[in-house]
């Protein structure tokens, strides 16, 4: 699926959607295979849409020394949840109206039906699919017994993706690293290096490797339905397994308040839905009720916006060469310099870093690239839909660009000039945004103090 600069849905696949649902009326979730190893386990989930077409989807968990895997019955609710969210990635190829979950008992099928619908708003938009939540999918599953896991949990599990947000979380929690475990999904250079640079040794890491079954890629090539699914929700349940196996209580995310803004005014389309506060609340409740009552699932950065996070990241020069936020360049650990994510990160950091520092990170001045002008106007709310990427709000981008313009005594960079000459939306000043604090969050009070300390530190300093 293409992402980034989109003004209209890519395809009108309503007819294909209905045809595939008729051809494949049931998506079958078969029993999984679990193999334990000396430092973890491998679980392989099995799905089928017909006698001829099936999928095998594996997750390989590696834990730090000392991790104690729970008894199988205690682990089953976590595996069932991971299986359910993983199934979505394969189910989307045909969107069968019924998903038969026979792998194991699954808590609250209605909850999962809502997740399937809410988490595929972008998928339905891009494919031009219209369907109600009630008609989208019915999940048939046996109800599980009430969890009876009495293990005592403590400390933190910190998911790290290698971008600036997880870097800020790592740096805020570096004094608590003795009670923390880093969680890395499909490890890459940026995630490994940023954790190392923050002082979290590899011996404290959980690594999860999850390849895609090539059969799904074959169906994509044949023209079956394809598109975005809520990857952060998959991470949530893989992280929950990792927290339980390492005895950690707090699953600490790095999702900011800006993720709550959708991509299209007046619709429910949000590329970042599984990073929103809405999903965070739903997942936190599900994990407490159906997995372990001591589990806490929350984002430490939820009280902050993207500019506040960028300001804090700017105080971490030892991370400048390590972090990467570009999806297009993730395979070779680079910045592509052409996508909405690259341009947004550049703009968000520009009020706090010099042009020399930015050029050393990105390889050049992205604000002098005329080819990025269409993306610029989508980021500022002047180009239709906001790019289908994890980027900040229109208000944040406009505030940052106005601040960049003010910092140049001579002539601002090309894209900043283009922005200032346009009829851009009115927005709050950068000072107002840097002084704000979002009150809708689940951060425990002891950790709020970390944000307050960093806020006071940044308020005592000034912009470049």
127 and 216 belong to one structural domain: yes
Q: Which of 283, 299, 315 is a domain's end point?
A: 299
Q: How far apart are CA 44 and CA 82, in angstroms?
A: 11
Q: How far apart are CA 8 and CA 22, in angstroms?
A: 27
Q: Quote the tokens at residue 115.
A: 């997740």
The answer to whether residue 71 is domain-embedded is yes
> Which of 331, 336, 67, 299 lies closest to 187 in space, CA to CA?
331
pLDDT at residue 6, rounded to an integer: 42
Please state the domain count of the chain: 2
335 and 288 belong to one structural domain: no
The answer to whether residue 9 is domain-embedded is no
Q: What is the pTM of this model?
A: 0.93
Query: Could you give the 3-state DSSP secondary structure of residue 30?
Result: strand
> Which of 197, 250, 225 lies closest to 122 in space, CA to CA?
225
Q: Which of 272, 299, 326 is a domain's end point?
A: 299
Q: How far apart are CA 421 and CA 414, in angstroms?
A: 11
Q: How far apart are CA 30 and CA 358, in angstroms?
A: 50
- List all residues 6 or more positions away from 202 whose beta carbon is below 8 Å from its beta carbon: 192, 195, 196
332 and 393 belong to one structural domain: yes
Q: How far apart are CA 454 and CA 327, in angstroms?
A: 28
The answer to whether residue 8 is domain-embedded is no
106 and 201 belong to one structural domain: yes
Q: Are 252 and 158 in contact (CB under 8 A)?
A: yes
pLDDT at residue 451, rounded to an integer: 86
Q: How far apart are CA 138 and CA 145, in angstroms?
A: 21
291 and 338 belong to one structural domain: no
245 and 344 belong to one structural domain: no
Q: How far apart are CA 49 and CA 55, in angstroms?
A: 9
277 and 310 belong to one structural domain: no
Query: How many angstroms separate the Cα of 459 from the Cα of each of 307, 350, 434?
Result: 13, 18, 8
The answer to whether residue 167 is domain-embedded is no
Residue 356: exposed, middle, or buried by beta-carbon count in 10 A (0-12, 13-18, 19+)?
exposed
255 and 347 belong to one structural domain: no
pLDDT at residue 7, rounded to an integer: 41
Q: How far apart are CA 129 and CA 11, in angstroms?
A: 9
189 and 89 belong to one structural domain: yes
Residue 193, Cβ neighbours under 10 Å: how many? 17
DSSP 268: -
327 and 226 belong to one structural domain: no
The answer to whether residue 170 is domain-embedded is no
223 and 331 belong to one structural domain: no
Residue 160, Cβ neighbours under 10 Å: how many? 24
Q: How far apart are CA 407 and CA 304, in angstroms?
A: 24
The answer to whether residue 401 is domain-embedded is yes
250 bridge partner residues: 156, 296
> Which of 224, 393, 216, 366 lies closest to 304 in space, CA to CA?
393
Q: Quote the tokens at residue 232.
A: 């952060």
Residue 442, Cβ neighbours under 10 Å: how many? 15
The answer to whether residue 174 is domain-embedded is no
Residue 437, Cβ neighbours under 10 Å: how many? 14
Q: How far apart are CA 397 and CA 286, in angstroms?
A: 34
Domain that holds residue 315: 306-459
**For the residues of 382-426, what is the DSSP string, one character each?**
-SSSPPSSS---HHHHHHHHHHHHHH-SSPPPHHHHHHHHS-PPP
The answer to whether residue 171 is domain-embedded is no
Q: Are 427 and 394 in contact (CB under 8 A)?
A: yes
Q: Which of 249, 281, 299 is a domain's end point?
A: 299
330 and 430 belong to one structural domain: yes
Give, for all 464 residues of the chain, the pLDDT tens digit: 333 434 445 568 999 999 999 999 999 999 999 999 989 999 999 999 999 999 999 999 999 988 888 999 999 999 999 999 999 999 999 999 999 999 899 999 999 999 999 999 999 999 999 999 999 999 999 999 888 898 999 999 999 999 999 999 999 999 999 999 999 999 999 999 999 999 999 998 999 999 999 999 999 999 999 999 999 999 999 999 999 999 999 999 999 998 888 887 767 788 889 999 999 999 999 999 999 999 999 999 999 999 999 999 999 999 999 999 998 887 888 999 999 999 999 999 999 999 999 999 999 999 999 999 999 999 998 877 888 888 999 999 999 999 999 987 678 899 999 989 988 878 789 999 999 999 999 999 889 988 876 555 565 454 55
Q: How far apart are CA 342 and CA 366, in angstroms?
A: 8
pLDDT at residue 455, rounded to an integer: 57
Give CA angle at 83 (82, 88), nearest 5°.
Answer: 100
């Amino acid at each position: 699926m293409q992402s980034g600069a989109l003004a209209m849905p890519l395809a009108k696949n309503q007819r294909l959607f209905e045809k595939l649902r008729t051809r494949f009326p049931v998506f079958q979730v078969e029993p999984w295979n679990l193999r334990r190893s000396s430092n973890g386990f491998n679980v392989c989930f099995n799905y089928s849409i017909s006698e001829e077409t099936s999928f095998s989807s594996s997750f390989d968990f590696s834990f730090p020394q000392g991790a104690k895997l729970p008894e199988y019955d205690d682990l089953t609710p976590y595996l069932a949840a991971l299986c359910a969210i993983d199934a979505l990635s394969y189910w989307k190829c045909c969107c069968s109206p019924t998903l038969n979950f026979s792998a194991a008992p699954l808590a609250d099928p209605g909850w999962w039906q809502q997740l399937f619908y809410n988490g595929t708003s972008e998928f339905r938009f891009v494919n031009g699919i219209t369907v109600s939540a009630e008609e989208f999918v019915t999940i048939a599953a046996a109800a599980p017994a009430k969890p009876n896991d009495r293990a005592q949990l403590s400390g933190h599990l910190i998911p790290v993706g290698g971008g600036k947000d997880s870097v800020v979380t790592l740096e805020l929690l570096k004094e608590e690293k003795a009670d923390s475990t880093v969680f890395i999904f499909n490890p890459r250079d940026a995630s490994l290096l940023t954790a190392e640079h923050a002082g979290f040794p590899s011996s404290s890491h959980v690594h999860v490797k999850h390849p895609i079954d090539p059969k799904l890629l074959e169906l994509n090539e044949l023209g079956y339905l394809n598109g975005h699914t809520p990857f952060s929700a998959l991470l949530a349940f893989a992280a929950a397994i990792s927290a339980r196996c390492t005895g950690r209580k707090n699953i600490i995310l790095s999702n900011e308040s800006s993720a709550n803004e959708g991509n299209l005014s007046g619709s429910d389309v949000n590329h970042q839905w599984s990073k929103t506060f809405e999903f965070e609340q739903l997942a936190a409740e599900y994990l407490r009720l159906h997995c372990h009552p001591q589990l806490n699932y929350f984002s430490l950065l939820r009280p902050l916006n993207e500019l506040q996070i960028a300001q804090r990241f700017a105080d971490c020069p030892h991370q400048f060469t390590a972090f990467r936020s570009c999806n297009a360049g993730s395979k070779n650990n680079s910045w592509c310099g052409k996508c909405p994510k690259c341009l947004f990160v550049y703009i968000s950091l520009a009020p706090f870093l010099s042009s020399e520092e930015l050029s050393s990170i990105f390889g050049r001045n992205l604000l002098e690239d005329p080819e990025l002008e269409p993306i610029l106007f989508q980021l500022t709310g002047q180009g239709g839909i906001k790019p289908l990427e994890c980027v900040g709000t229109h208000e944040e981008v406009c505030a940052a660009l106005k601040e960049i313009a003010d910092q140049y005594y001579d002539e601002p960079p090309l894209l900043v000039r283009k922005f200032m000459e346009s009829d851009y939306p009115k927005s709050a000043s950068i000072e107002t945004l840097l002084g704000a604090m979002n009150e809708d969050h689940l951060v425990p009070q002891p950790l709020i103090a970390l944000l307050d300390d960093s806020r006071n530190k940044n308020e005592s300093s000034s912009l470049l």
